[in-house]
Structure 1
Amino acid sequence: MASAGREIRIAVLVCDGLSDWHKTRMGDQMLWFPRLLNAASDRHFSHLNLKLMFDRYDTFSGQLPSSDLVSTYAACVITGSKANAFDQDPWIQQLKAFVLDNHERTRMIGICFGHQLLAEAFGGKVGRMEGGWESGWADVQSVGDLGTELWGRDHIAMMFSHQDHVEVTPPGFTVLLSNNRAPNHSQVMGDTCLSVQGHPEMIASDVSAIVEYRTVVSPVFDPVWAAQVQAGLSQPVDDVFVGAKLLAFILDGRKGMKDVR
C-alpha cells in the first residue's frame, strides 16, 4: 500500500487582489505557489513523499491566520503586491504586526513585496530603486560566505517585477543575494525568516502579461524598454531550484537549504 504522504500545511498570505484582466492571462497566487513548490517537491524531495496543502488568506481584506492556527502551518508565504511595503494602509500594518508576533511560531517566506515587508517589519528600510523598474529576466549573485553556503551557486536567474527595494537590511538579517540594481535580493534571519526579491513563482508568460498591462492597458512603461524586456523572457531561469531552496527552509531551516544542490 502506498504511503499517504507527509502533510505540509502552508498559509499563502495574499497581498494583492488581481483584476479579471490579469486572472484570465496568468491565474493568481493560488496557482503560482502550489505550481512552484509542488514542482520543487517532485524534483528535489520525492523521497519524502510530501503532500503540500495551501490555505489562502487575503491580507488586503484583513484576513490572517488565527492565533490557534498559526502553529499548524509549516510556513506563511507573503506574496507580491502592487502596494508599497512602506505604505501606512491598516492591512499592511496588521501584516507587519502579525509577522513580528508569529515568526517564532511558524516560518515566514517573503516574495517581492513580502521580502520588503519583512525588512520593514524588523526595522529595515524600503525605497524606490534608482533607474526605475527591474522587470523580466535578471541574474543575481550570492553574497558572502552565508549566501554561498545557503544558495550553493554563484549566479541565480529569476523573473522580476519591482520598483522598490530593501535599502537598509534590518538588524538580525543577513543579505544572501545581490546584483547591480539592488543590494539586497535575498535575506535570512536564523531559521525563522527567508525572503527573495524575485518572482520564482511566476513563469515567463505571467511576467509578459504584467509588462503588457503596464505598457498598453495602464501605460507606465516605455514601449521600447518594454519590448526589450519581453524579448529577454525566453532566457532560462532557476525557478524550481529557488522553489526547492524555499521549500527546504520551510522543512528544516538553513540546514535544509544546504542540502539542496
Structure 2
Amino acid sequence: MLIGILQTGQAPEVLRTEMGDYPDMFVRLLANRGLTFKSFHVEGMEFPKDVHECDGWLITGSRHGAYEDHPFIRPLEDFIRKAFAERVPVVGICFGHQIIAQALGGKVEKFRGGWAVGPQDYDFGTEKVNLNAWHQDQVVERPAAAEVVGSNAFCENAALLYGDRAFTVQAHPEYGNDFIDGLMRTRGKGLVPDALMEDARARFSDRNSSAAIADRIADFFKQTRN
C-alpha cells in the first residue's frame, strides 16, 4: 500500500543531519507494516496531481499554525476535503491533525493553557498511551464528523477518528526523546518556558507508546473500505 507523506514543515537543520527530516521519521515509525512511501513537500507547493495518486495520505507536523496565511494552506485544505469526499484515507499528526480538523469545519487556535512538551499520558479508551508532544495550538472545536478517541486533561481533542476516512493525533509518535531534546535546544529557548522544558526532560523514560500508535495508523490505512 502506497502512502503519500505530505510534508508541511522541516526539522531544524542541525537535527536533520542527525535524525532525518519529518518524512524520514514516519518511514522509520511505520516500517515493517506493509506500507511504502512517497513524499511531497507541500510546504514548498509540491502537491500530488490527484488524491488517488497514492492509496492513502499522511500529513506531518509543522512549525506553522493551521490558521496562518501561507500559500500552501488553502490548497492543502482543498486536497483534504477532496480526499475525504472520495474516501481516500488520511492520517494527520500534530499540524496534520489540526489542518484536517480545520478543513472539515473545526476550529484551531493557540491554546490559552500554554504548551505541551515532552512525554504526555493519553486515554485512548481501553488503552493508556504515552507519547511525546510539542505544541501550543490545539483543535478547540472538532468537526461534526469527528469522534474523540484520545484525550487528556490538557488536550480534550488529542486524537480524532472520522469513520474510515481520517485518523488524527495531536502528539508526535514519530518523535523520540532525542528529537524532543533537540527541539528544546534549537527552538525552545525564548518560546517555551524553561521550567516546562526542564520538567519534560525529567519525564523522559522508556514508556513511549509510539509502536502502539504506529500499529493503529497502519491498521487504519489497511482496513477494508467499500
Question: In structure 2, what is the Cα distance between the partners aligned to 1:253 and 1:168?
Answer: 29
- Deviation, 1:128, is 1.6
1:33-112 map, 5 Å = 33-38=26-31, 41=33, 50=34, 52-67=35-50, 70-103=51-84, 104-112=86-94
2:109 is aligned with 1:138? no
8 Å Cα contact 1:129/1:182 also seen in 2: no
Give the counterpart of 2:193 among 222, 226, 229.
222
Match of 1:165 in 2: 138
Query: Residue by residue, what CA displacement relative to the aligned partner does 1:131-184 show, whole Å, maximum 9, x if unpaired?
Result: 211010000113xxxxx3xxx41x111110000111001011111111111110
- Deviation, 1:235, is 4.3
Query: Residue by residue, what CA displacement relative to the aligned partner does 1:11-67 show, whole Å, maximum 9, x if unpaired?
Result: 00000033422312432112211111115x2xxxxxxxx3x2211101111111112
Counterpart of 2:48 in 1: which secondary structure? coil
8 Å Cα contact 1:115/1:197 also seen in 2: yes
Select the structure of larger CA radius of gyration. Answer: 1
In structure 2, the CA distance between the partners of 1:91 and 1:233, relative to structure 1 (3 Å rule), is same
Query: Residue by residue, what CA displacement relative to the aligned partner does 1:68-119 show, whole Å, maximum 9, x if unpaired?
Result: xx32422100000000011122211110011101222421100000000011
Counterpart of 2:31 in 1: which secondary structure? helix
Cα-Cα RMSD: 1.7
Question: In structure 1, what is the Cα distance between the partners aligned to 2:182 and 2:63?
Answer: 15
In structure 2, the CA distance between the partners of 1:24 and 1:170, relative to structure 1 (3 Å rule), is same
8 Å Cα contact 2:10/2:22 also seen in 1: no
Match of 1:247 in 2: 218
Flag structure 1 segments of 5+ consecutive residues without an equivalent: 1-7, 42-49, 143-147, 255-261
2:166 is aligned with 1:193? yes
2:3 is aligned with 1:21? no
Match of 1:257 in 2: none
Identity, in percent, stands at 29
The count of aligned residue pairs is 224
Question: In structure 2, what is the Cα distance between the partners aligned to 1:221 and 1:201?
Answer: 21
Counterpart AA for 1:162 = H
Question: In structure 1, what is the Cα distance between the partners aligned to 2:2 and 2:188?
Answer: 38
In structure 2, the CA distance between the partners of 1:253 and 1:158, relative to structure 1 (3 Å rule), is farther
Counterpart AA for 2:15 = H
8 Å Cα contact 1:71/1:105 also seen in 2: no
Counterpart AA for 1:16 = G
Flag structure 2 segments of 5+ consecutive residues without an equivalent: none
Counterpart AA for 1:210 = L
- Deviation, 1:120, is 0.3
Higher deviation after alignment, 129-138 or 240-249: 129-138
8 Å Cα contact 1:9/1:74 also seen in 2: yes
Match of 1:117 in 2: 99
- State the 4+ residue runs in structure 1 displaced beyond 6 angstroms: none
